[in-house]
Chains A and B, each alone.
Chain A
Amino acid sequence: MSAPARSRPDTAGSIPSSDTRVLHFRDVAKTFPDGTVALEGVDLDIRRGEFVTVVGPSGCGKSTLLRIASDLSPATSGDVQVDAQRIGYVFQDATLLPWRSVLKNVQLLGELHGMGRSSLNQATRDAIDLVGLTGHEKKLPRELSGGMRMRASLARSLTLDPDLFLFDEPFGALDEITRERLNDELLSMFRTKRFGALFITHSVSEAVYMSTRVLVMSGRPGHIVGSFDVPFGTDRTPELRFTPEFAALAGEVSHALREGHS
C-alpha cells in the first residue's frame, strides 16, 4: 500500500478549459479505523463537462467516495487529485440553517469564503433565480417543501460557481414528479455551467437520464465494476425516458448492478 497522495491545484493556475480534468482517483482505498473496508482499487477521472453518476448497493461506499473527493475524509491509500478551484457539495438532506432565510442560507458559502458584498449579492440573486426560488427569499427552511429546500441547497452551492460538483443522492428523498423536474433543472444548469459532476443515486433511470457516464459499484468493499457511456447528447427531454434506447441502456446498468451485488 502506497501512502495516500493528494494534490490541489496551484491557485495561480491557468484558466480551466472546458475539458480539463477536475478529479482523478487512482487505486484509491479506504479502510475505517474499525476495520471496515469501504473502498478498494477505485479508479475515476472526471473532466469539466462530464456528468458522472455512480450507482451501487446501499453501504458500498458511495458517500465515502464523495467524502474523499471533497477532503472531508482522507483516503487510506492511492492517489487523489482534485484540480478544481471550487467544489460544490450537495448533501442528501438540504442542511440548510433553520434560523436563516432562504436568501441568507444561499449567501452562507460566500460569507465563509469572504466573497465581496456586491459580487455575493449578485451571485445569490442569480442562483436563486436559476433554481426558481425567486419570491421565496424571505422564507425560513421550515416554511419550504422538501423540493424547495433542495433547490435552496443547490442555489447555495451555485453561488460559488463550482467547477466540480458533488451530489450525494440529492433527490433521493423527493417524490418522483419533483425529482424529475429537478433532474431537468439540474441538467439545464449543467448545460450552461459545464462543471464536472459526480452524482450518487440509487435510481438507475435517474443515473442514465442525467449522465454522460454511469459507473456501477459493487457491494462492499466498493469498487467500480462497470462503466457505461451515455450517448444521448446534452439536450434531453423527459420523453427520452420512454425511448427503447433508454430502456436498453437502463437494462444493461441494472444488470451490471445485480451482477456486482451478488
Chain B
Amino acid sequence: MSAPSRVRPSSIEGNTVTATEQGVEPTVQAEGELIAAGTAPLVRRRRRGSRLLNIAAPLAVFGVLIGAWYAITYLVLEPGRRFLMPPPQEVITEGFLDEQAMEKIGDALWNTIEVTFTGLAFAIVIGMAWAVAMSQAKVAERSLFPYAVALQCIPILALVPLIGFWFGYDFPARVIVCVLIALFPIVSNTLFGLQSVDRGQHELFDLHGAGRLTRLMKLQFPAAMPAIFAGFRISAGLSVVGAIVGDVFFRQGEPGLGIVLDNFRSRIQGPELFATIIVAALLGFATFLVFGWLGKLAVGRWYDTSRDGA
C-alpha cells in the first residue's frame, strides 16, 4: 500500500492547520502533529469509507422507500383507493410523461421560482441591512433584535390571511410571505458573523485608525461570509416553502406549485399530485445546492467547510 502513505502528508497538514486556525497554541500544535501523524492513515480510510457511505447509504434508503411505496400501493390499499398512493411508474407515465400535466407543472414551477427568488432577494437586502444596523451600535441591537426574534416566534402561517387581506392575493402578497419566512436566518446569521470577528483583529484595525466603513468592508464582512452564506442557504429553502404556502392560501393570480398541487388534490389526480410534490422537493433541493455552491465561491478556500459537513 504505497498510495495512502503518499497522501498522508497533506492530510496531516490539513489537520494541524485546522487546529491552529481555531487558535490552539502552537506548543499544542506540535503535539497535534504527532497525534495526527499517528492516526492519519486511519483518518484517510475512514474518510474514503465515509464517501462511499455518503452515496451508498442514501441509495439504500431510497430503495427501501420505493419498496415501501410499492408495498403500500399494492398490499395496503384496495384497488379502488389506489389513487391515494399511485405506484411510482404511474407517477412517471401519467405525471412526468404526460404533456398536459407537465405543462401545468412547468408553468407553476416557473411562477414559484419567480416568487421564491424575488422574496429571497428582498429578504437578503432587508435582513443584511437590519443586521448591519444592529452591528453598528448596541442601542440598535437592543432595540431591533427583539423584533427579529418576534418574527421567528410568530407563526407566519397565522399572518398569511392578514397579508392577503392587506396586500391582495397576487404576486406581492406571495413575495411578502416569502420575505417574512426567510428573513430571520439571514438577520441572525449575518449579525452573528459580523460580531464573530476576533478581538485582536479589531485591535489591529483600531491601531491603524480604521473607520466603521473600512472595518465593515475589510474585516467584518469577509469574516462573516461563511455565516452569511449558511443563513442564505437556510433562507432559500424557507423561501420555497413560503412561495408554496402563499400559493395554497391565496389561490389567485398566476398559479404556482401550491395551486397546482391543490387542484390535483381536489380532482383526485394522484399521479399528477405526486409528480408535483417531487418537483417542489427538487426545487427546494436545487436552491439548497445552488446556495451551497455560491457560498463556496464567495468564501473561497480559507474557511474549512469540512467542519460543518458541507
Say whether B204 contacts A146, CB under 8 Å.
no
Cβ of B223 within 8 Å of any chain A Cβ, yes or no, is yes
Q: How far is the CA of A146 from the CA of B20 in the complex (A)?
A: 9
Residue of A nearest to B214 (CB): A112
Interface string of B210-239 (1 = CB under 8 A from A): 100010001100110100000000000000
Say whether A143 contacts B23, CB under 8 Å.
no
Chain A contact residue count (CB 8 A cutoff):
25
8 Å CB contact of B205 from A70, A112, A141: A112
Stretch at the interface among A3-11, A15-23, A89-97: A89-97
Cβ of A99 within 8 Å of any chain B Cβ, yes or no, is yes
Interface string of A88-132 (1 = CB under 8 A from B): 010101010111100000001101110000000000000000000
Say whether B223 contacts A91, CB under 8 Å.
no
CB distance from B303 to the nearest CB of A (A): 7
Cβ of B25 within 8 Å of any chain A Cβ, yes or no, is yes
Residue of A nearest to B28 (CB): A173
CB distance from A66 to the nearest CB of B (A): 11
CB distance from A32 to the nearest CB of B (A): 16
Say whether A173 contacts B302, CB under 8 Å.
no
Say whether B26 contacts A140, CB under 8 Å.
no
Q: How far is the CA of A168 from the CA of B253 in the complex (A)?
A: 66
Cβ of B49 within 8 Å of any chain A Cβ, yes or no, is no
Say whether B26 contacts A142, CB under 8 Å.
no
Stretch at the interface among B65-73, B195-203, B269-277: B195-203
Say whether B301 contacts A140, CB under 8 Å.
yes
Say whether B300 contacts A93, CB under 8 Å.
no
Say whether A91 contacts B302, CB under 8 Å.
no
Q: How far is the CA of A131 from the CA of B138 in the complex (A)?
A: 41
8 Å CB contact of A173 from B27, B204, B206, B208: B27
Cβ of B209 within 8 Å of any chain A Cβ, yes or no, is yes
CB distance from B235 to the nearest CB of A (A): 23
Of listed B20, B200, B218, B301, residue having the most chain A CB within 10 A: B20
Say whether A143 contacts B17, CB under 8 Å.
yes
Cβ of A72 within 8 Å of any chain B Cβ, yes or no, is yes
8 Å CB contact of A95 from B25, B27, B29, B198: B198
Say whether A142 contacts B21, CB under 8 Å.
yes
Cβ of B34 within 8 Å of any chain A Cβ, yes or no, is no
CB distance from B9 to the nearest CB of A (A): 13
- Contact status of A95 and B17, CB under 8 A, knowing A146-B29, A174-B26: no
CB distance from B37 to the nearest CB of A (A): 15
A residues in contact with B304, CB < 8 Å: 142
Cβ of B290 within 8 Å of any chain A Cβ, yes or no, is no
8 Å CB contact of B208 from A99, A113, A141, A175: A113
B residues in contact with A98, CB < 8 Å: 21, 302-303
Q: How far is the CA of A98 from the CA of B300 in the complex (A)?
A: 11
CB distance from B95 to the nearest CB of A (A): 46
Residue of B nearest to A71 (CB): B207
B residues in contact with A97, CB < 8 Å: 201, 219, 222-223
Q: How far is the CA of A142 from the CA of B29 in the complex (A)?
A: 13
Task: Apart from A72-B207, A95-B201, list 15 A-B contacts with CB within 8 A.
Answer: A70-B207, A72-B203, A72-B206, A89-B204, A91-B200, A95-B198, A95-B203, A95-B204, A97-B201, A99-B225, A99-B303, A142-B17, A142-B304, A174-B26, A175-B26
List the interface of chain A (C-beta within 8 A of B). Answer: 70-72, 87, 89, 91, 93, 95, 97-100, 108-109, 111-113, 140-143, 146, 173-175
